[in-house]
Amino acid sequence: MKVKGIEVTDAQISAMIDAMASHFRASDVEAAAIKAGVPDADMIALRAADRLIQQRRKKGLIKIVGKGPYWTNQ
């Protein structure tokens, strides 16, 4: 995945997926991205986390709980 010209590696994506425990927030996924080495500057880690969450939501793998801000695995 590329975010603002920065390549997010498969290992970094795996770390973000691992952060998607039974209940999680977008900020949990963003923190995992930063810890895995995705740059925090220019909101790159936030955008990478958001893209991954939306991809997994569209595949039916996760859903939002109530009105949010928590997500859960299906």
CATH of the domain at 20: 1.10.10
pTM for this model (two decimals): 0.90
- Summarize pLDDT for 5-58 with one digit per residue, the tens: 999 999 999 999 999 988 999 999 999 999 999 999 999 999 999 999 999 999
Q: If we measure between CA atoms, which residue out of 64, 62, 60 comes closest to residue 20?
A: 62
Q: If we measure between CA atoms, which residue out of 25, 30, 33, 27 comes closest to residue 71?
A: 25
Number of domains in the chain: 1
Q: Which domain covers residue 41, as residue numbers?
A: 2-73
